Copies of this chain bind each other. A is one copy, B any other.
Amino acid sequence: KPGANPLEPLTDQEGFEFKAYARSGFLTNGSGNLWHNYAGPYFTPAGSVDGAIGRLGVETNSYVELNFGKKWTFEDGSWARFKVMIADGEDDQNDWTGGSSQINFRQVFTEMGNLKDMPAPLSQATFWAGKRFDRDNFDIHFLDEDVVFLAGTGAGVYDVQMAEGWKSNFSVYSRNFGDTSGYLGFYDPIVTDDFIFTMNNRVGKWQIMLNGLLSPDNNNYANRPWYTPSIVPSEVFGSTQCADSGFLGMLAYHDDSFYGISQGISKTALQFGWGLGAEARLVGADGNLGQNAKTMRFSTFGVTDLAPGWHFSPVLMAQVSQDRYIDGDDYKFVTVNGRVMQDITRSFGMQYEATYQYADIKPMGYTDYGLRTGSPAKGSIGKLTVAPTLYLDQMGIGLLGRPQLRLIGSYVLWNEGLNNFSFSDALGPQYGSYAANGMLSAGTSGWLLGAQMEIWY
């Protein structure tokens, strides 16, 4: 019996879990060079405020998430699980990347469920503590965009039975703004902490998520240039102090059909946040948001079959964010994406993706610590991708079956008005860029050719 001898470590080998997500590949922009752009589908100006475009054919890195777990399950249904995630994202194409490796533990947590002797509302609940991605995060795979991504170090309980048909999660997550590694000054790293208090409700297919955010010292942190070794007020004209609190709410509908029209799935979400909650995607992760920041975002996507052997997924995302970093600034974008997959044989198919994004960004001079120009950006960008794809039908055909091995060709076309927004994005001047070979093209269109694998299980 595990743990019978309190000083003896458990040796039970059962319950080992090994799961992964990974992608790895390369892209060349036709000038004979690889294309390095860490941002992937976030490479446009709108990407700076979560405006991703379709991901197929614009990803250049090797990104890995290895999940190692151990689960114990007992006869009465009670269980415990330990889980860690080791992750790395690497844009270097070489095999040895010891000098630029970012390997880190993104998750380290333990959870327990079906505990004995619990009061009725908690009898089916799952308790947890540690560092983790919230269990109920969900994303739009085709944009590599989380509708909501809540993560950090905390504790909580899932599936509290509030009433018949109503389950709630309660959690507190702690996070940092700044860098505990002391990079910004060995003696005086700038770290400010924030807390996210979450109540997440499920009633049938409906989800209502309420997040309260608190970072009492964050107003000392406002709009600080990244290279400043001490806490100073912003030198940007008209800037606000950073928010010390905020709220982010979400109403979502998880449909087990394709919008009631056909078989498949669809998910739709409306989010509204202010202050520290005005970052709709990465909850509580942006410490530069102003006191008056407010963001509204609408997202929807679905997956269905158009005909036997023809798979289809449309996506729509639109966001308005105002007074975000500077009073009076304004960030708007809308992204439309569609991916189609055509099965040719039982191991080979063709994927097509078309994406369109319109952005109107008025940053009012905010430079994000020297990474951006502070200039406005306005215009459209479109991308068409063709990807001959190998798969194993037994591991899942279709848009969400993996692994896939792909050849990829993308054509990207955009308005000149999107250039000059950022020093580091793919359309910018690349002056002082830290992303070598990051520019897609000096003009307003470009080709990308390459190959990629993607897997999850």
A residues sitting closer than 8 Å to B (CB atoms) are 1-4, 6-7, 9-13, 16-20, 22, 24-26, 28, 31-34, 36, 62, 64, 66, 68, 70, 72, 74, 78-80, 82, 84, 86-110, 112, 115-118, 127-133, 151-155, 172, 174-176, 178-183, 186-193, 195, 214, 216-217, 265, 285, 303, 345-348, 390-396, 398-403, 405-407, 432-434, 436-437, 451-457
Contact = CB atoms under 8 A, between A and B. Distances in A.
A24 B84 CA distance: 11
Report how many copies the assembly holds. 3
Contacts of A133: 95
A265 to B, nearest CB: 6
A112 B32 contact: no
A442 B110 CA distance: 34
A403 B22 contact: no
B451 A78 contact: no
Given A130-B453, A392-B80, A102 B98 contact: yes
Given A18-B16, A93-B152, A110-B405, A182 B434 contact: yes
A102 B36 CA distance: 22
B451 A93 contact: no
The interface centre, meaning the residue of A80, A100, A153, A191 with most chain B CB atoms within 10 A of its CB, is: A153
A70 B432 CA distance: 42
A179 B436 CA distance: 10
B90 A104 contact: yes
Nearest to A132: B95
Nearest to A89: B98
Contact of A216 (B9, B33, B285, B436): B33
